Structure 1
């Protein structure tokens, strides 16, 4: 937590140092060794009019787009046309012409709301954009997995290309109406994707590339977690989901075990996605799910007519419980038991079904009863966990989804099912665990906005990840979940008996939990608003408009002398 506070102070200086257009241009030039795109002055005015806090830190955009600078503009446009013209790809387009965005006609009906939501975001600034066509991933899963060698080659080429001059954008040609059947994408749905796709994005000497033997789901790979951990606790969120040092992740998330919809390519293609797994080269953009309030933080009290009361009480008045509700939507378990490795199912098992068997033991960092102000890792039977006073309410809702064969009944028997709960009921509880599914988490932003403390275990990363500091704005949890109980115990406290039968009571760190919950709440109101989504997307599309312009080497905003 101390390190997180220092990191936050450094981020404040890096993200928001510019106080004028002149300073913003010079900051851009210093960081990216190039001129900003045309329209940067309009973007800056747009951002400042919305009281945006983050004006200088857009490294995610720079890194996402860097490989595309090695591809000629005409080829980028042609690739966009090709991938949106084949319905099998499950990628649909948005066209921007003369300052107006529209959804192309070939979008799947079930996903039309998503692209209409994207258009709604773009409408707030579309009059300032050049003409362009954009290809949006309709699936949750990531799509573009370049080998590490290929990506490095592209980046080396890209860094030799600079942007100059003050020319205006060129015109675009329209996408042909005729559908195509050509595709560069391969269908790996229902297959283990780790070694063929995630591992290939890593260096040849990485553990992921060298170790092709499957890891057992029942044994903890301690050295796999060591690079990003402090004991059981997740210390480095930036690399916590990186597959390169963690070959055991092949069996610990549904995206790798058996994704429901995985159509990917090792070739660079301009695909915009709501989230992506580390190593993938999709272009991130703010999801319409959050912008369109598909899931919203909206606590209610007794004065709200015709609705049950779900107030967001002060942290100290909430139930001392870790809460989660969700579906088995992380991946498909088609009859071979893949569900046993999926993160969501493992959390439910850990919360409800731990036994006294050896494979269900739990190791906790506990106060050392012999030495004051000291802690020691202690292993106990899983069946003894609840006796320590740790409380959880973690369940699968309604029915088992994305299953086949015996896996349907086995999951229902093992995990148990409960009825749906009003989303606003979350605010009753102190600790809210967030688990991504097949892609990004739709509920994490509402969790941050609340007075509860979010725990987050996630493979996928989103446009805003660099804006949030773990252990300051939320509590990170390793995908292996081996530190979950120690993390909850640290904040919640415990009670028990020592070896001599003497009772002990550990009060935990409620003040720290409250501080993180409030810090995340306040910060999200500054940097994760709908206005921040608009500003991020506006800057992203100005950069993309330049990249796809035939005169891009001549395009750049420069200050008048």
Structure 2
């Protein structure tokens, strides 16, 4: 949906106003498009395993470490961070690589040109090229990582960054410089006073609110639990932290025990917090010439960690099994598609911000997942229809959650469900790769939301299964050129049943 002047409106949430879309795909020069064959599948999965391992360990250590830094240390009159010998590098960046070798911190967001080849093939090739460039540009040493961190994020790295770097290297993390997700999740909190953040955590834990509390004192977990947390979640959370909790300051943390997110802040409040963070607080932290590699003393308003303070009131409101779309779009700008779309009008998604062509090949995953751009989600996604749990707050509270929608302000962390091995993969029960069939196979449950009076028909899993197995027409791309000629991919409408053999998608329970 073009904005005024013919310019495409990009991802419009406050998050994306200061976090440019990260899914730009560089294009091949004219005449260099490759034929539509697919890369070696073993190489494809090997690279994806490498990416997953990088994300896991990078995010695991940053969920608490960098959160503690942003909230407790890089604020106020003393801003502890790096050791003096490392901090000197920030003033004399002689250890940096040439600028041309570094990953651009401001990627472009224009849609790629796909040329004559199949769009999917072009997007895969472009993505591979982008990833290889990013991989080659990663810091190899601690001094390089320090300088690159400050260049990207405009603040010094946190205390014990050297210990984190060693932790990551020991586990062969390859994307050593990538902190975008945690950085942008924490940016609004820089607009709050540290004592406000601490008090809100205590308030959230003191009323229960289905939040598991973790109280850290003297480098160990002093108390954990309550809030309806299951035993496995308590044990898994402690296990995830045990290798680095000794490096953390005294702090209270709130972990969401539900799958559904908990925090969504109105757009005007969120915009104000982000502006204060970017314009005032972060530059002040960056101006410290010799930050220390140590934590501030335990604040006086933080107890000894032996108990959760009892709080009589709460700002969290509970209303499960009811529509949540109105609340979920509160953080979207007033002129975004999600806010201007009314229920008595067809939902008009900002399709051009993330998809190519009539069949909608996604080139910008950030914009594609931004609910502010896609009001149609309000009637096609189970969470917005009737979630099984909904315990929400509209002020900025520091809540760690395992999943969230783009418009929510929870802080993501790796799910303890998988860390605890609650869903195990047995390779002995799997088929050899050569024995697998060329089809898309899926089995799953009818979860995704609460159903009342046939409401299950509006949920996303049901939409997918129904669409794939429908007895109607489908659109595909076909190459109309003769064999050996220049490719010419055109949209063609065919009976969906003609391709039923390549799909095996049904509910199991």
TM range (shorter): 0.5 to 0.7
Task: Note if 1:119 corresponds to 2:238.
Answer: yes
Task: Note if 1:363 corresponds to 2:475.
Answer: yes
Q: How far apart, CA to CA, are the structure 2 residues paired with 1:51 and 1:140?
A: 30
Work out which of the residue numbers 320, 337, 344 in structure 1 matches 2:461.
344
Going from structure 1 to structure 2, the CA distance change for 1:369 and 1:28 (only over 3 Å counts) comes to closer
Task: Note if 1:230 corresponds to 2:356.
Answer: yes
Alignment of structure 1 residues 99-110 onto 2, 5 Å: 99-101=219-221, 104-108=224-228
Residue in 1 aligned with 2:447?
329
Q: Residue 54 of structure 1: SS of its match in structure 2?
A: coil
Determine if contact 1:95/1:104 at 8 Å carries over to the other structure: yes
Q: CA deviation at 1:283?
A: 0.7
Residue in 1 aligned with 2:133?
10
Task: Note if 1:75 corresponds to 2:201.
Answer: no
Residue in 1 aligned with 2:296?
169
Determine if contact 1:254/1:331 at 8 Å carries over to the other structure: yes
Q: How far apart, CA to CA, are the structure 1 residues paired with 2:417 and 2:411?
A: 17
Going from structure 1 to structure 2, the CA distance change for 1:393 and 1:133 (only over 3 Å counts) comes to same
Determine if contact 2:205/2:308 at 8 Å carries over to the other structure: no
Q: CA deviation at 1:102?
A: 5.2
Task: Note if 1:57 corresponds to 2:178.
Answer: yes
Residue in 2 aligned with 1:191?
322
Task: Note if 1:133 corresponds to 2:252.
Answer: yes
Residue in 1 aligned with 2:26?
none
Q: CA deviation at 1:101?
A: 2.1
Q: Residue 394 of structure 1: SS of its match in structure 2?
A: strand
Residue in 1 aligned with 2:46?
none
What TM-score do you get using the length of structure 1 for normalisation?
Answer: 0.62
Determine if contact 1:224/1:248 at 8 Å carries over to the other structure: no
Q: How far apart, CA to CA, are the structure 2 residues paired with 1:36 and 1:310?
A: 43
What TM-score do you get using the length of structure 2 for normalisation?
Answer: 0.68
Alpha-carbon RMSD: 2.3
Residue in 1 aligned with 2:423?
295
Q: Residue 36 of structure 1: SS of its match in structure 2?
A: coil
Q: How far apart, CA to CA, are the structure 1 residues paired with 2:374 and 2:364?
A: 14
Determine if contact 1:241/1:278 at 8 Å carries over to the other structure: yes
Q: CA deviation at 1:377?
A: 2.0
Q: How far apart, CA to CA, are the structure 2 residues paired with 1:127 and 1:223?
A: 47
Unpaired segments ≥5 residues, structure 1: 301-308, 399-561
Task: Note if 1:204 corresponds to 2:340.
Answer: no
Determine if contact 2:386/2:451 at 8 Å carries over to the other structure: yes
Determine if contact 1:299/1:312 at 8 Å carries over to the other structure: no
Q: How many positions carry a matched residue from both structures?
A: 370
Going from structure 1 to structure 2, the CA distance change for 1:215 and 1:333 (only over 3 Å counts) comes to farther
Determine if contact 1:144/1:265 at 8 Å carries over to the other structure: yes
Unpaired segments ≥5 residues, structure 2: 1-123
Q: CA deviation at 1:136?
A: 0.4
The one-character-per-residue Cα deviations of 1:18-77 (angstroms, maximum 9, x if unpaired) are 222222211122222222222112222222222221221111111111111111111211
Q: CA deviation at 1:363?
A: 2.2
Q: Residue 395 of structure 1: SS of its match in structure 2?
A: strand
Q: Residue 393 of structure 1: SS of its match in structure 2?
A: strand
